[in-house]
């Protein structure tokens, strides 16, 4: 089950948070992991951890919003069996107070970055007889979240791109799905609380956690476990789907 031996897995944003957990999980299952990350220090640290546990991993410095950089990195990797589009940024703000600069930053990373990776990986997968693409969406694409205008926009686009790719390349044996986590306890959450609620971090953390019916935030490892399944041969009949992994946030 969930065997990734002899498979090459590319993970954007694989140096932290959910991307890091996924990098470690794929490596444990035998994959050759390529971490595509703008923060090379973080990527190198994850590669070191993987290699210390007898896994295979390589770090690549890359800004996913730059198509030429993405092209250069993907070309250097060669065969790609699985692509996890996990790189992303967030922004706090509503339509009237989101600056053009912030809007473009979110769009360039979360939307154009995913497009750039799809643009480069699909011909590689076509040539190899198929592959799996998993995009990181969010409950923000489906539920109105306060003060997340630009971020919600970007995740709505990720969902639409997932459906388009699944439809367009199904005859190429390329599967494409997305997952939509709710709040997950990552370093991003801790940094956000420290920056915006100094001295009230625990209070605000508990408040955010309780917005989910299950009563807590998810862990990166819980998300990574589901990622493994959707990218595995055991999920070979699944394409064109988005899966909330949200502690009941959307439905309950």
Please state, in angstroms and rounded to a whole number, the distance separating the CA atoms of residues 172 and 168: 9
Question: Cα 6 to the chain's mean position, in Å?
Answer: 22
* Strand 131-136 versus strand 8-12 pairing type: unpaired
Residue bearing tokens 């002899």: 6
242 CB neighbour count, 10 Å cutoff:
17
Annotation marks residue 151 as catalytic: yes
Catalytic residue among 151, 159, 205, 243: 151
Residues 6+ apart with CB under 8 A from 242: 137, 141, 159, 162, 177, 178, 179, 180
Cβ(65)–Cβ(113) below 8 Å: yes
Please state, in angstroms and rounded to a whole number, the distance separating the CA atoms of residues 240 and 19: 21
Please state, in angstroms and rounded to a whole number, the distance separating the CA atoms of residues 155 and 204: 24
Catalytic annotation, residues: 151
């Amino acid at each position: 089950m969930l065997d990734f031996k002899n498979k090459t897995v590319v993970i954007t944003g694989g140096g932290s948070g959910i991307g890091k957990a996924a990098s470690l999980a794929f490596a444990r299952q035998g994959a050759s992991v390529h971490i595509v990350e703008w923060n090379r220090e973080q990527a190198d640290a994850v590669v070191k951890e993987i290699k210390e546990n007898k896994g295979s991993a390589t770090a690549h410095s890359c800004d996913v919003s730059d198509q030429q950089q993405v092209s250069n990195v993907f070309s250097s990797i060669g065969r790609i069996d699985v692509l996890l589009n996990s790189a992303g940024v967030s922004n706090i703000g509503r339509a009237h107070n989101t600056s053009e600069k912030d809007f473009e930053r979110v769009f360039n990373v979360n939307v154009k970055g995913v497009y750039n990776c799809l643009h480069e990986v699909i011909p590689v997968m076509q040539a190899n007889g198929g592959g799996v693409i998993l995009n990181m969406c969010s409950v923000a694409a489906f539920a109105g979240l306060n003060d997340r205008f630009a971020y919600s926009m970007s995740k709505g686009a990720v969902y639409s791109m997932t459906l388009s790719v699944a439809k367009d390349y199904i005859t190429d044996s390329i599967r494409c799905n997305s997952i939509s986590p709710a709040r997950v306890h990552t370093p991003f959450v801790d940094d956000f609380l420290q920056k915006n609620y100094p001295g009230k971090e625990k209070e605000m953390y508990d408040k955010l956690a309780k917005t989910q019916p299950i009563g807590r935030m998810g862990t990166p490892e819980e998300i990574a476990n589901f990622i493994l399944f959707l990218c595995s041969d055991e999920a070979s009949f699944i394409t064109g789907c988005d899966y909330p992994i949200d502690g009941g946030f959307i439905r309950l």
